[in-house]
Amino acid sequence: MNKKISRRTFLKGGMATIGLAACSSLFPFSFDKLTLLEASEENTGEMTFLNACPRDCYDTCSIISTVKDGVLKAINGNPANTYTNGHVCAKGYSYTRRVYSPDRIKYPMRQKGRGSGKWERISWDEAYTQIAKEILRIKHEYGSTLPICYNIGTGSMEILHNAPKGFFASIGYPTIAAGDPCWPAGMDAQSFDMGTIYCNDPETFVNSKYIILWGQNAAWTSIHSMHFIDKARKAGAKLVVIDPVLTSTASRADEYIQIKPASDGALALGMARHILDKKLYDADWLEKNAIGTEDFFQYLTNEVSLEWAEKESGVPKKVIARLAEEYATAKPANIWIGYGIQRHTNGGQMVRSIDALAALTGNIGKSGGGAQYGQLQTWGFNYNTTLQKPPANSGGTKPRNIDINNFAHDIVATQDPPIKMIWFASRSAVSQDPDPEKTRQALKKMDLVVTCDQFMTPTVAMSDIVLPVTTFFESLGVNVSYWQYWLSLNEKAIKPMYETKDDLQIAMDLSKKLNELEPGSCTFPVISNREDWLDKEFNPDVYKLFGISDWRELRKGPVKAKTGLVAWQDGKFETPSKKYEFHSELAKKYKHPAIPSYLPCVPQSKKYPLRYFSSHWPIGTNVQFQNLDWMSAIQKEPFLEIHPLTAQKYALKEGDKVKAYNDIGSITVPVHITSTVPPDMAITYAAWYKDNPNLANNLVKVRNTDMGSMKLNYPGTAFHDNFIEIKKINN
């Protein structure tokens, strides 16, 4: 695939609003006996439905939901999906609280003054009319729809949730917030090495003899994977975790290596040098499958030593040597590279250096081996919702991209024509992007900001109009993961709450309104049956991969990909040479060194002595979940983790309030004192607490990762290269 890829690009598709009445018997049920029912009040009694969690998460669980008299009562993991393995995470079990949360946005609303909190309820027709009129006004005033910009996030990754992109392609050429806040650096790194990202089926962790979780906190962010890792350990595999923070995952490891932040490139290259010196590399594999090995060996010989690696990474050279020997001799050995580690200004180089270890030892292409990052194999849908043509008279010649990771800057700085209107869906830019205040100020300069969401996020708070959207229990869809290999149906289990609508319906309704006001102004099709939309998402390749001939077969249960479960097993890499490329001309073309090389990270700051991480949180997914009552009962406010020595230095006790600040902004939060965090670091987990202004990103600067612009148009954000000072607040 040579087009720019992103999980955003992949989010499309559409399904019909059907409900499956499987009575209360879960499995097995036979396909021909299934009765299709609209989820409605007529469906009295207890019924179960198949659902699929659409959050931006490795696990993408297959769910069985229990509905009684039209009310969602319980969530269970679907045991038919052997990865979900019969259970969901704490967030998953809390979905009943989410669907019926009193805080859900119930009706379309209009705000008098962005950020004022003065909301009034309006009808859908009023909302559509105002939005459609503004679209037409902008188009006529500027001669194109380029001043209209959409920013679609990964709040829902269900396939039909790409519809807003198609809607904007149906009114003309819009401006697109392109790129991805999450994984660009690692994606480019793996693409330079192997052609794309591609990981083994995580259920095959059981075949590993040695597992390194490198900057990856699966015990929080991919809990189902831990089951397979634990199984491997029971069979004798060793688990090593490399992280500056002693995470929950690290606490479950056989060995924990506390590394200096963003110095992993030195550790990996040091290990590689030792593997070279001890001749522990797999010469046959390299001969057959790799190019540039000699260049890489030359680099290691000239530039890398164990002493140097120790100095850079803080890991003793004896440990580096032992780790290298253990890793190179335990076969198959598996490395899982997390997304956290690549959120640095040298994130891409770190990932390339780690990949090199897997290649050197011939672990790539083996079940239980490899360098795992993620996969796009199961995302081969048609993305039909996005494939719309602009109307003939809409002006402009092509869509325009701006950088999603420099969004606040770009929406103000972009000219000819300027940006005037923003559409957010599945996205909370204010809380999730660096520097929330900058985003707020930029949004204030727009003529119209519309957000489609379920809750009053910090982004909704800066909008003129909020459109209430359904949860996945309220509309049909399908889901796949960027990690495991299952395809799940998501049935409509309950009727849409209040006046909520799904994003595809909103696109169709708005299309109707535009054509009513100005015939021919929108080409987005109005197809009332969601099943028809879903039909258009599937193609013979997807069906073949999953061994089905119609998505309706998913009513029997989720299905797993039939092939491709061991990444690169056939040795056909997707690089220009079709080999593993230690030497990548493409990397050079994108202004990186051709071979994996050490790139030092941003140095520790004198003015702001604590390095600040804002990693992912166990009972939230990005901006989602932590606002719910069950979650707030567990943790009611954000906090800052610091080491006991740091606490001593600042004369702080557990729970004392501090102001943490830097040039970007501040947060005022209690401290949690823990020796899991190194003394020169501090952490606030990236979660949104309702009505709490202390966002993790208040301390995060817009700063690029090294890589990302090849596959995703723009580099990622170096979330973890920020520095802060703290001071005690006396209250």
Ligand X SMILES: Nc1nc2c(c(=O)[nH]1)N[C@H]1C(S)=C(S)[C@@H](COP(=O)(O)OP(=O)(O)OC[C@H]3O[C@@H](n4cnc5c(=O)[nH]c(N)nc54)[C@H](O)[C@@H]3O)O[C@H]1N2
For the segment 515-574, give every residue that binds ligand X (CB under 6 A).
none
Q: Does position 468 bind ligand X by CB under 6 A?
A: no
Q: How far is the CB of 664 from Mo ion (least distance, A)?
A: 21
Question: Smallest distance, Å, CB 182 to Mo ion?
Answer: 3
**Rounded Cα distance, 427 and 106, in Å:** 18
∠ CA 542-546-547, rounded to 5°: 110
Q: Is residue 435 involved in binding ligand X (CB under 6 A)? A: no
Q: Are 296 and 281 in contact (CB under 8 A)?
A: no
Q: In what order do the strands lie in the sheet with 175-178?
A: 119-121, 109-111, 465-468, 448-453, 421-425, 148-152, 175-178, 400-403
| Among 81, 289, 378, 426, contact with ligand X (rule: CB under 6 A) | 426
| DSSP code string of 66-110 | EEETTEEEEEEE-TTSTTTTT---HHHHTHHHHHT-TTS--S-EE
621 beta partners: 624
Compute the least distance from the CB of residue 508 to ligand X, in Å: 15
705 interface partner picked from ligand X, Mo ion, none, CB below 5 to 8 A per type: none
* Nearest residue to 180 via CA among 342, 311, 415, 297: 342
Torsion of CA 139, 142, 144, 145, to 10 degrees: -60
Stretch that binds ligand X, among 30-38, 50-58, 126-134, 668-676 (CB under 6 A): 50-58
- Name which position in 170, 457, 521, 597 contacts ligand X (CB under 6 A): 457
Note whether 674 and 604 are within 8 A (CB): no
- Exposure of 205 in the CB half-sphere (CA atoms within 13 A): 25
Among positions 186-245, residues that touch ligand X (CB under 6 A) are 214-217, 220-221, 242-245
One-letter amino acid for residue 134 of the chain: E
Binding residue (CB under 6 A) for ligand X from 76, 84, 111, 156? 156
How many residues are given for the chain? 731
> From ligand X, Mo ion, none, which one binds at residue 247 (CB under 5 to 8 Å depending on kind)?
ligand X
Rounded to the nearest whole angstrom, what is the least distance from the CB of residue 397 to ligand X in the complex?
Answer: 29
Q: Rounded to 5, what percent of the chain is helix, strand, coil?
A: 35, 20, 50
CA angle at 334 for the pair 332 and 340, rounded to the nearest 5°: 175
By CB under 5 A, residue 686 contacts Mo ion = no
Of 422, 497, 443, 411, the closest CA to residue 72 belongs to 497
Q: Is 667 near Mo ion (CB under 5 A)?
A: no
Site for ligand X contains 375 (CB under 6 A): no
| Minimum CB–partner distance for residue 483 and Mo ion (Å) | 12
| Residue 695 sits in the site that holds Mo ion (CB under 5 A) | no
435's contact among ligand X, Mo ion, none, with CB below 5 to 8 A by partner kind, is: none
| Residue from 338, 269, 263, 188 nearest 706 by CA | 188
Which residues, 91 to 130, sit near ligand X by CB under 6 A?
none
Binds ligand X (CB under 6 A): choice among 65, 66, 406, 624 = 624
**Closest CA relative to residue 460, chosen from 432, 430, 490, 485:** 430
- 103 alpha-carbon distance from chain centroid: 24
Nearer to ligand X, 623 or 628 (CB): 623
The residue among 650, 625, 652 whose CA lies nearest residue 220 is 625
For the bound state, the minimum distance from the C-beta of residue 59 to ligand X, rounded and expressed in Å, comes to 7
Is 11 near Mo ion (CB under 5 A)? no
Contacts made by residues 290-295, CB under 8 angstroms, sequence distance 24+: 290/359, 290/579, 290/580, 290/581, 290/582, 291/577, 291/579, 291/580, 291/581, 291/582, 291/583, 292/581, 292/582, 292/583, 292/584, 292/594, 292/595, 293/582, 295/582, 295/583, 295/594, 295/595
**Contact stretch for Mo ion (CB under 5 A) within 86-94, 181-189, 251-259, 645-653:** 181-189
Interaction between residue 503 and ligand X (CB under 6 A) = yes
Residue 701, interface with ligand X (CB under 6 A)? no
Q: Which stretch binds ligand X (CB under 6 A): 317-325, 326-334, 335-343, 663-671?
A: 335-343
Question: Which of Mo ion, ligand X, none lies near 186, with the C-beta cut-off 5 to 8 A by kind?
Answer: none
Number of Cβ atoms within 10 Å of the Cβ of 593: 15
Q: Is 187 in the site for Mo ion (CB under 5 A)?
A: no
d(CA 721, CA 602): 7
Tell whether residue 259 is a contact of ligand X (CB under 6 A).
yes
Q: Which of 89, 182, 466, 696 binds Mo ion (CB under 5 A)?
A: 182
Does the footprint of ligand X cover residue 622 (CB under 6 A)?
A: yes
Q: Segment near ligand X (CB under 6 A), from 225-233, 261-269, 298-306, 320-328?
A: 261-269
| Contact of residue 618 among ligand X, Mo ion, none (CB under 5-8 Å per partner type) | ligand X
Using CB under 6 A as the binding rule, the residues of this chain from 669 to 688 that contact ligand X are 686
Which of 139, 161, 440, 592 is close enough to bind ligand X by CB under 6 A? 161
Binding residues for ligand X, how many (CB under 6 A)?
A: 59
Question: Is position 181 an interface residue for ligand X (rule: CB under 6 A)?
Answer: yes
Per-residue DSSP letter, 704: B
CB of residue 628 vs ligand X: minimum separation in angstroms?
A: 11
β-strand 210-214 against 238-242: which pairing, if any? parallel
Distance, CA of 586 to chain centre: 25
When the beta carbons of 215 and 332 are compared against ligand X, the nearer one is 215
Query: From the list 615, 646, 662, 698, which residue makes contact with ligand X (rule: CB under 6 A)?
Result: 615
Binding of residue 665 to ligand X (CB under 6 A): no
Taking the CA atoms of residue 132, residue 138, residue 140 and residue 146 in that order, the dihedral angle to the nearest 10 degrees is -110
Asked if 694 interacts with ligand X (CB under 6 A), we say no
Give exposure, 34-69, as e/b (b: 16+ Cβ within 10 Å): eeebebeeebeeebbbbbbbbbbbbbbbbbbbbbee
| 228 interacts with, out of ligand X, Mo ion, none, CB within 5 to 8 A per kind | none
268 binds ligand X (CB under 6 A): no
Q: Does 157 bind Mo ion (CB under 5 A)?
A: no
- Count of residues that bind Mo ion according to CB under 5 A: 1
Pick between residue 537 and residue 721 the one whose CB is nearest to Mo ion. 721
The reply to whether 616 sits near ligand X by the rule CB under 6 A is yes
321/162 Cα distance (integer angstroms): 48
CA 728 to chain centre: 35
Amino acid (one-letter) located at 339: Y
Kindly list the residues in this chain that would bind Mo ion in the complex (CB under 5 A): 182
Kindly list the residues in this chain that would bind ligand X in the complex (CB under 6 A): 56-58, 153-156, 161, 181-182, 214-217, 220-221, 242-245, 247, 259, 261-262, 264, 338-341, 344, 425-428, 432, 452-455, 457, 469, 503, 613-618, 620-624, 686, 696-697, 700, 719-720
